[in-house]
């Protein structure tokens, strides 16, 4: 979806750009342009207006409701590379997630240590807390991992039983955090990237409201179709994923995005970054070392598979993640 920025409408997002464009874009022909029909030179004038308006088109993130047809959600992701689904998480589940996870946020240190290059300190954020191993901390998270719509997202883009959990991490952006470098998530696995398939697909669940001040994600709409590795992005090509707690930003691994700056005085922006990755690729998080066998034994089968406690095999491919050439699931008995 696009909105229009104009000298008189600066900063306003207009959901129906057609009403501001030339007859080519209207259903009612020149009639929509009112008094200009009476202007002798209007055809030329209209062409110039059209060009000017086109230059001023800016992207705007679409919001859909959780109860809409999944095909509408896929259409929005295919068009824009991402979409916000409002009220993705029910109020009760949101409350449980917050109750079970927020104590870890208070305890956790800021920043990450031990990366081989200072780039990663900046990328992960020095004023950001990142917390993994959430299946040990939250049964509500386990419930969310089995959510039917979230499951459909993975199945639709990566194929049923063809993916693992990539990340199930809390990303808590603290005051004074600077913007994360913009990137495409699929570049974790540069040699697996292909124009015709997704490598990874992600839901970023908002556990607090996401606002422009507290670090709402920056996204470049339509950038999933831009050529090049990680092409430069102008600020006017981006929007912010502002959303209420309980909503989710769903996005393609190809979209250019990054965590936003937090300019608030004392607000933490808490997101649950929950991505899937093709099952034959190594996940960003080491789930099998942050989840004990004891916990894994009690998890639903889907979650055991997502965390790699069950082996993987691709259609027409081999068997991966075996123990003694048996399915890893034998350890769960
Ligand atoms: O926290 C966010 O808003 C996005 C984080 C992100 O894109 C990442 O760490 O890969
Ligand atoms: Fe990312």
Predicted confidence (pLDDT) per residue in 178-226, tens digit: 999 999 999 999 999 999 999 999 999 999 999 999 999 999 999 999 9
Average pLDDT in the 162-176 region?
98
Report whether residue 171 contacts ligand 1, using a CB cutoff of 6 Å: yes
Q: How many domains does the chain have?
A: 1
**What mean pLDDT do residues 60-68 have?**
96
| Cβ density class 189-215: b for 16+ within 10 Å, e for less | beeebeeeebbbbbbbbbbbbbbebbb
pLDDT of residue 13: 42
Average confidence score pLDDT of the chain = 86
Residues present in the chain in total: 333
Higher per-residue pLDDT: 54 or 32:
54
Question: For ligand 1, is residue 129 a contact (CB within 6 Å)?
Answer: no
218 Cα to the center of ligand 2, angstroms: 10
Q: Whose CA is nearest to atom 8 of ligand 1?
A: 258
Residue 21: inside a domain = no
Which residue among 171, 218, 268 is best mutated to probe the pocket of ligand 1, counting the most ligand atoms within 8 A of its Cβ? Answer: 171
From the CA of 177, the nearest ligand is 1
Whole-angstrom distance, CA of residue 170 vs CA of residue 264: 19
Q: What residue's CA is closest to ligand 1, atom 4?
A: 259
Residue 315 — very low, low, confident or very high, per pLDDT cuts 50/70/90? confident
Mutate to test the pocket of ligand 1, among 169, 186, 259 (most ligand atoms within 8 A of CB): 259
pLDDT at 16 (0 to 100): 33
pLDDT computed for residue 190 by the predictor: 97
pLDDT the model gives residue 170 = 98
Q: Which of 127, 257, 276 to mutate to test the pocket of ligand 1 (most atoms within 8 A of CB)?
A: 257
Which pLDDT score is estimated for 21? Answer: 29
Distance, CA of 279 to CA of 235 (rounded, Å):
35
How many Å lie between the centroid of ligand 1 and the Cα of residue 259?
A: 5
Backbone angle region of 142, left / alpha / beta, with phi > 0 → left and psi within -120 to 50 → alpha:
alpha
- Output the six-digit token pair for 290: 């942050």
Q: Is the CB of 257 under 6 A from ligand 1?
A: yes
Is residue 31 assigned to a domain? Answer: no
Using 50, 70 and 90 to split pLDDT, how confident is the model at 52? low
The per-residue pLDDT for 58 is 61
Ligand 1 contacts CB of residue 217 (under 6 A): yes
For the segment 310-323, the average pLDDT, to the nearest whole number, is 93
| 90 vs 68: CA distance, rounded Å | 15
190 domain-assigned:
yes
Angle 148-158/70-80 helices, nearest 10 degrees?
A: 50
- When pLDDT is cut at 50, 70 and 90, the band that residue 70 belongs to is very high
Residue 321 lies in a domain: no
| Residue 58 CA neighbour count, 13 Å, CB half | 19
Q: Is 124 in the pocket of ligand 1 (CB under 6 A)?
A: no
Q: Which two tokens stand for residue 117?
A: 């290059």
Q: Sorting pLDDT into bands at 50, 70 and 90, what band is 27?
A: very low
Q: Write down the pLDDT at residue 119.
A: 87
Question: Residue 22: what pLDDT?
Answer: 25
For residue 80 and ligand 1, the question of a CB distance below 6 A is answered with: no
* Strands 322-323 and 326-327, sheet pairing: antiparallel
Least confident residue range of 111-120, 166-175, 250-259 = 111-120
Sign of CA dihedral 191, 120, 171, 73: negative
Looking at the domain assignment, is residue 331 inside a domain? no
Give the separation between CA 333 and CA 326, rounded to whole angstroms. Answer: 13
Task: Give the pLDDT confidence of 293-309 residue by residue, as tens digits.
Answer: 999 999 999 999 999 99
- Predicted confidence at residue 114, as pLDDT, reads 75
Q: Return left, alpha or beta for 18; rule: phi > 0 is left, psi -120 to 50 is alpha, else beta.
A: alpha
Q: Answer yes or no: is 185 within a domain.
A: yes
pLDDT value for 141: 98
Burial-class residue 35 by CB neighbours within 10 Å (0-12, 13-18, 19+): exposed
CATH number of the domain at 271, please.
Answer: 2.60.120.620
- What would the mean pLDDT of 19-42 be, rounded to a whole number? 28
Say if residues 131 and 172 touch (Cβ distance below 8 Å): yes
Distance CA 236, CA 232 (A): 12
Distance CA 215, CA 180 (A): 10
Q: Per the domain annotation, does 175 fall within a domain?
A: yes
pLDDT score of 5? 33
The pLDDT tens digits of the residues spanning 103-140 come to 999 999 999 877 778 889 899 999 999 999 999 999 99
| CB contact at 8 A, 121 and 286 | no
Structural domain boundaries enclosing 214: 59-291
Q: Which of 23-37, 45-59, 130-144 has the lowest mean pLDDT?
A: 23-37
* pLDDT at residue 125 in the model: 94
CB 258 within 8 A of CB 182: yes
34 Cα: distance to centroid of ligand 1 (angstroms): 46
Question: What pLDDT sits at residue 38?
Answer: 30
- Residue 160, pLDDT score: 96
DSSP state at residue 108 = S
Q: What is the DSSP string of 228-265?
A: SSS----GGG-EE--B-TT-EEEEETTSEEEPPP---S
For ligand 1, whether the C-beta of 258 sits within 6 Å is: yes
Q: What's the pLDDT at 48?
A: 52
Of ligand 1's listed atoms, the one at least distance from the Cα of 271 is 1
Residue of the CA atom closest to atom 1 of ligand 1: 259
Per the structure block, which two tokens stand in for 105? 């946020």
Smallest CA separation from ligand 1 atom 7, residue: 258
Q: Residue 256: inside a domain, yes or no?
A: yes
């Amino acid at each position: 979806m696009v909105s229009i920025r104009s000298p008189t409408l600066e900063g306003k997002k207009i959901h129906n750009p057609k009403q501001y464009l030339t007859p080519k874009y209207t259903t009612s022909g020149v009639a929509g342009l009112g008094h200009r029909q009476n202007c002798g030179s209007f055809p030329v004038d209209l062409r110039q207006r059209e060009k000017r308006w086109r230059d001023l088109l800016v992207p705007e993130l679409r919001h859909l409701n959780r109860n809409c047809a999944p095909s509408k959600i896929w259409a929005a992701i295919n068009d824009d590379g991402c979409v916000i689904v409002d009220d993705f998480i029910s109020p009760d589940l949101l409350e449980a997630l917050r109750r079970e996870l927020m104590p870890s946020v208070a305890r956790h240190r800021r920043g990450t240590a031990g990366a081989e290059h200072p780039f990663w300190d900046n990328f992960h954020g020095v004023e950001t807390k990142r917390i993994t191993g959430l299946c040990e901390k939250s049964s509500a998270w386990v419930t969310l991992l089995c959510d039917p719509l979230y499951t459909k997202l993975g199945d639709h883009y990566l194929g049923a039983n063809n993916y693992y959990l990539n990340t199930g991490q809390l990303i808590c952006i603290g005051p004074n955090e600077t913007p994360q470098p913009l990137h495409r998530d699929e570049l974790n696995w540069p040699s697996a990237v292909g124009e015709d398939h997704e490598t990874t697909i992600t839901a970023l669940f908002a556990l607090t409201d996401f606002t422009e001040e507290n670090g709402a994600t920056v996204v470049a709409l339509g950038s999933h179709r831009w050529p090049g590795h990680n092409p430069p992005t102008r600020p006017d090509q981006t929007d912010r994923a502002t959303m209420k707690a309980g909503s989710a930003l769903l996005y393609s691994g190809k979209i250019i995005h990054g965590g936003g700056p937090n300019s608030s005085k004392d607000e933490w922006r808490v997101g649950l970054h929950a991505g899937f990755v093709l099952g034959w690729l190594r996940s960003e998080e080491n789930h099998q070392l942050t989840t004990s066998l004891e916990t894994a034994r009690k998890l639903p089968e889907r979650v055991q598979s997502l965390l790699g406690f069950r082996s993987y095999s691709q259609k027409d491919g081999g068997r991966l993640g075996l123990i003694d050439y048996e399915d890893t699931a034998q350890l769960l008995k």
